[in-house]
Structure 1
Amino acid sequence: MRYPEGGGLTAERRAFREKIRLRAGERFAAGEKTAVIAKDLRVSVRSVERWRRAWREGGMEALRSAGPANSPTVTDAQFTVLEEELGKGPSAHGFDDERWTLARVQTVIRRRWRLSLSVATVWRLLKRHGWSWQAPARRALERDEHAVELWKKEVWPRVKASRRPTEPGSSSRTSPDSP
């Protein structure tokens, strides 16, 4: 069962469930029937069948808990190192320009710790540690203010006005006499 906040089971609950599976494993070895085991342990027959299959293939070890089923995370110590790496800038990590993107941060994490995180997980990680999306504080040095103003005055009005005018009888407009 998954929970919206915190997800997964507690360590105590995982240990409890593992104990039930191991009891079932002992009963498999004794040759008991699936339905009897399910009834006594108060679990579904389908679960006991799944455990029996795992027990046949891997023995009692296959019934042990594999630990929490969450995705790999970056520890606080690792995040401190990540902040230092990000402080060095993207060019120090082989990127062409000086922009950090989520995909680039994801690449740094994968290279440094061999953790495969999704872009969304990287965003949540950064946000949780106080990082935010930021626009550049200054305009680019290459920006030509005169060309920008010229474009706004001459080109933009033509682009804006170039929308297809609606004519009477066109399919995009209903006529006043239509029902």
Structure 2
Amino acid sequence: MAKKPLDEATKKRLRAGRMLLAGKGPAEVALAVGVARQTVYTWKGLLDEGGIDALRAVPGRGRPARLDEEQLAQLRQALLQSPTEYGFGTELWTLKRVATLIKRMYGVEFGQTQVWRILGALGFSAQKPERRAIERDEEAVRHWKRRTWPTLKKKPSAKAD
């Protein structure tokens, strides 16, 4: 069975534990690993009770995720498709539409702030659609800007001295 790679927090705890076992003081360890001194004292208590394995076994903090890695990967693939393929009226993903899609796919409801965070974690960023007509003729626009616009612009009036 393959070992699960250690997360950054666990690596920090283990480094701190090794330093403490080597005789370093909590203040020095806290500075070296970039945590508060009180945190090192908490870790030292765990180390004294259960050894280095106790530092490895500290559970993750916060509420457990409601979507797992596989579901997030599926959601990412869905968002790379057109919203119209999922029954939405236009080609634009909005937070509200993404929240609706998540509810349809997984039965989980998220607020718009959390949807924003999920999108950020998936590598998406806010995009503003170009406000141009699909039928726009770039050559005609260039011609108008070069020929017609200069004749319409006001010319500075010659002032008499």
TM-score bracket for this pair, using the shorter chain length: 0.3 to 0.5
Between the two structures, name the one with larger relative contact order (CA 8 Å, sep ≥ 6): 1
TM-score (norm 2): 0.42
TM-score (norm 1): 0.38
Please identify the structure whose Cα radius of gyration is greater. Answer: 1
